[in-house]
Amino acid sequence: MIRCRAVEATDTSAANTPAAEAEPVFDVTRRATELAVLDALRAVVDPELGMDVVELALIRQIIVGPESVEIKMVLTTPFCPYAGSMIQQIKDQAESVLDHPVKVTLLAERWEPRDAGLMW
């Protein structure tokens, strides 16, 4: 499951004003950005499994901020020999559809084939 979250600086003193209540809960522009990043990441293929990182459910979260994007991911194995290459490809592909830097963070979670709908 991929979780996407928007990050913005908020002023808690203005939280109770009518203008703050009028902001939409769902930001269409941010969601479009998240989907564009996911689509670009389909070009990054795990060389051992021959499937893309989105299909393998390696991308766990995309956080879109006003000046940057963070992609949180896991690897198929803790000591994946292709980790450096895949992280750089993910960064390059995401930055190809964005106009600001991308940070890729590896999570300590364990990847399960069932997350991608695979049964081995």
Q: What pLDDT shows up at residue 118?
A: 79
* Contact between residue 64 and residue 6 where contact means Cβ atoms under 8 Å apart: yes
- Give Cβ neighbours of residue 75 (< 8 Å, ≥ 6 apart): 58, 83, 86, 106, 111
What is the residue whose two structure tokens read 């009518």?
18
Domain 3-8+27-116 bears CATH identifier 3.30.300.130: yes
Q: What pLDDT shows up at residue 7?
A: 54
* Contact between residue 15 and residue 71 where contact means Cβ atoms under 8 Å apart: no
Half-sphere exposure of 104 (CA within 13 A, CB side): 20
The whole-model pTM stands at 0.77
pLDDT digits 0-9 by tens, 24-70: 677 888 899 999 999 999 999 999 999 999 999 999 999 998 889 99
pLDDT digits 0-9 by tens, 73-86: 999 998 899 999 99
* pLDDT higher than 80, residue 8: no
* pLDDT higher than 90, residue 16: no
